[in-house]
Amino acid sequence: MNKAGLSIALVMLGLVGCSNHPAPEEQLRLSEQALDQAKAVGASAEADELALAQDKLQQARIAFDRGKYRKARMLAEQAELDARLAEAKVLTQKRQKQLSELEQQVESLRKQLGAL
């Protein structure tokens, strides 16, 4: 029966959909690296993105251990970008801080010169 065939095909698809994916070892490694890098530039756990990254990486490892490779890969990919965004935000903040310090210094130098 055609309908039955279709149903069976759907069952197979549904089952295959969540398994049969290569183990995302490399991606887990990349995500860990991104997380370390973000911490190294001074991203703290208070940053939302870093907390997200840590949480997702942990979930990814659990999924990995249970053989749920597709889920593990997705979580790890998201964790990597969360960590990279956390890092980028810290770097932007540092630049902005440097900029406002410089502006103050230049302003103060101008005043000193103007007073002479």
Are 59 and 82 a contacting pair, CB within 8 Å?
A: no
Are 107 and 88 a contacting pair, CB within 8 Å?
A: no
Torsion of CA 13, 15, 16, 22, to 10 degrees: 160
Q: Is 84 in the site for other proteins (CB under 8 A)?
A: yes
Q: Which stretch binds other proteins (CB under 8 A): 14-22, 25-33, 35-43, 59-67?
A: 14-22
CA distance 45 to 86: 10
Q: Which stretch binds other proteins (CB under 8 A): 24-32, 38-46, 58-66, 99-107?
A: 99-107
Q: Is 51 in the site for other proteins (CB under 8 A)?
A: no
What is the closest distance, in whole angstroms, from the C-beta atom of residue 71 to other proteins in the complex? Answer: 8
CA distance 16 to 47: 37
CA distance 53 to 59: 10
Q: Is 21 in the site for other proteins (CB under 8 A)?
A: no
Q: Is 41 in the site for other proteins (CB under 8 A)?
A: no
Q: Which residues bind other proteins (CB under 8 A)?
A: 1, 3-4, 6-8, 10-11, 13-15, 17-18, 74, 77-78, 81-82, 84-85, 88-89, 91-92, 95-96, 98-99, 102-103, 105-106, 109-110, 112-114, 116
